[in-house]
Structure 1
Amino acid sequence: MAEETNGGNGAAAPAQPQIKMQVLAQYIRDMSFENVVVQKGLAGVEVQPDIQVAVSLDARKRAVEHQFDVVTKFKVTSRNKVNNETLFLLELEYGGTFHVEGVADEQLHPFLLIECPRLLFPFVRRIISDITRDGGFPPLNVDTVDFMSLYRQELARRAQVAAATAAPQPN
């Protein structure tokens, strides 16, 4: 077997660290569903739903080495386009405990907030679909979330806040 070389100078290429990721647990941390239509008794009102989905993420190191908790937070609000009345409100915090090794320190934060939520998302989608159906509405199949874009937006927002606080204040 031939040895790999780097640039033909005879030096062996450094081995890339093997990334190891394992989902240790998945869980609903918090969930709330309010069927406002039934509570208010809006019978006979024309309904044209407008659904808004807000997503936020949180990651935290656990006391055990290489273990992290990642929580995806979804807030789904359905309003009637006709009169802007709320039809339902769903809030779901869905988490996972992950064992992650071999990721460089500078890449760990994006890895936790992009790859881990990506693995949790199909389960979140199913829960939201089931809850909206069980709550008296057609099942809601949430569109796929681009966690990389979400991460980049958060970095840009943080940079903007940092720039605004670092700017000299007028006298």
Structure 2
Amino acid sequence: MELVVNGVTLEIVRGDITRQPGLDCIVSSANAQLKKGEGVSGDVHRAAGPTLDEAARRYAPVRPGEVRITEGYHLPNDYIIHCRGPAYGKDYPADVLLFACYRNIFSLAEKYRLESIAIPAIATGGCGYPMQEAAEVALQVFKTESKEFNYLKNVRFVLYSVRELVLFKTALHVLDAEKELT
């Protein structure tokens, strides 16, 4: 699915976040120490190679909602933005922290003058954030923040499963139905 929102191409696709050639940056879910973890973090660390683990350690620790940026190393992307999502039911207020994740991702991408970025469903794996709520937060932040983008021209949400894809598309249709997309 693809549409233009505030002059920015928004894509919602199913795929592997580590296989997004042609984009400046991918986003990885991160743990506090920015170490190789499970899920997206593990996939990104394996694909980027061992140099990422060494480089990322310099930027730890990371609190929920915070982001850091490293080179992409062996990935087809120049950069990786590492974002620590909130642990649902543990980090409060979870919705505010998840909102901060996405806002900080977009802010850092703009600071680095990135034109394109791929983002997974932050905090929905090991952190346990409900997918539907996470999708609504992610797309709401995109809609709001994209009005201020100077550099970002393409934002791709890359989702692992068909279920995630359907929930993100549903959340997008809800926003679109509100007639606030331009």
TM-score bucket (shorter structure): under 0.3
Give 1 or 2: higher helix fraction. Answer: 2
Give 1 or 2: higher strand fraction. Answer: 1
Higher relative contact order (CA 8 A, sep 6+): 2
The TM-score, its normalising length taken from structure 2, stands at 0.26
